[in-house]
Structure 1
Amino acid sequence: MGKVMAGMTMSLDGFINDRNGSARKLSPDFEELLEAPSFKEMTKNTGAVIMGRGVYEMADPFLWANDDYEFQVPIFVLTHTPPEKYPKGNDKLSFTFVTNGVESAISQAKKAAGDKIVQVIGGASTIQQCLNSGLCDELQIDIMPVLLGNGLSLFQNIDTDKLKLERTNLEETTPIRTSIIFRVTKTSPGE
């Protein structure tokens, strides 16, 4: 089976949204990012996506969940309560709402992805759960050269005693975005 890779964009001072909950300042290069060779390669190698309910609802899913969405794969939404209505999807993109935890979401996504990557695209709580469960193989952090001063930190609820990160790649993805990929491993006792 393929690996589980979590990814998030953050400000230079470590926040994934501002004090009002907006991530708008972190994506001024979104159109450029979609055209970046590394992003296209990543979407091509992705076999399933996991996202939290907040990311699913960040924009109207009936507008973005169409043939133009970059991830044309099964999408697993981690939630406490599935929505009554959701987009139908197409022959590639489908939705499964997982209510019994991150381990179940990862297991289902890995089966759907086969040998391809399971991409965890957020939000913060979903990525934190993946990291804390020990089920995340790689972490990609995209750094934007902005300072938010306050907001939500991706790493605030991470059990840092159990994780070890090893940088495996560093890339200028767009003229203003730097991507860092880390291998995620569990630490041994005494490390």
Structure 2
Amino acid sequence: MGKVIAGMTMSLDGFINDSNGSTELSPDFAELLETASFKELTNNTGSVIMGRHVYEMADPFLWANDDYEFQVPIFVLTHTPPATYPKGNDKLSFTFVTDGIESAIAQAKKAAGNKIALIIGGANTIQQCLNSGLCDELMIDSMPVLIGEGLKLFENIDTDKVKLERIKVEETTAFRTSITFRVTRTKPTE
């Protein structure tokens, strides 16, 4: 099976959104979509995992068209599935997982086969994955902005279980530096 990779964009001072919940950290998103590294990531991704908040950040009904960059099965970690959701297409589908991160990762890995099961957020979903020992790599895109307060990705991390080893640094766009870490030592929760 392929790797489980988690990715998140954050400010230089470690926040993924401000105290109002704004996530305007990607003014270069259109440029990012055209980079060789992002195209390689989308080509090598076999499934996507996200939390309910990330699912609701944009109009998910627009995702089910052929323009969304990840045309793969999408697994949404949630307590309660929405009453209505997009049908999907012949490549992209939505599965709402209500029985925990382990189940979401297992289903996503099965769907991805030898490709990447990619966690694209949110913070709580990535924290659960890291703490449960289910994440192979962590990709952080650092943006040169200071937010000062808000939601931090690395809160609630069990630092006795989660250790990181930097394996790649790339200037992805004029604004974005991407750092990839191997999760070198995690132990599943007892």
Tell me, yes or no, whether TM beats 0.5: yes
1:130 counterpart letter in structure 2: C
Structure 2: which 5+ runs fail to align? none
- Percent of pairs with identical residues: 81
**Cα shift readout 1:98-144 (whole Å, capped 9, x = no counterpart):** 00000000000000000000000000000000000000000000000
Q: Which runs of 4+ in 1 moved over 3 A?
A: none
1:54 counterpart letter in structure 2: H
Distance across 1 between alignment mates of 2:12 and 2:61:
33
1:66 aligned partner: 65
**Match runs of 1:7-22 below 5 Å:** 7-22=7-22
After TM superposition, give the deviation of residue 89 of structure 1 in Å: 0.5
Distance across 1 between alignment mates of 2:130 and 2:23:
21
Structure 1: which 5+ runs fail to align? none
TM-score (normalizing by structure 2) = 0.97
1:62 counterpart letter in structure 2: F
**Cα shift readout 1:140-160 (whole Å, capped 9, x = no counterpart):** 000000000111000011001
Distance across 2 between alignment mates of 1:120 and 1:158:
16
Distance across 2 between alignment mates of 1:44 and 1:83:
29
2:177 aligned partner: 178
Report how many residues are paired. Answer: 187
Distance across 2 between alignment mates of 1:65 and 1:21:
25
CA contact (8 A) 2:75 2:104 kept: yes
Q: 1:160 to 1:58 in 2, by over 3 A?
A: same
**Match runs of 1:54-93 below 5 Å:** 54-93=53-92
The reply to whether residue 141 of structure 1 matches residue 145 of structure 2 is: no
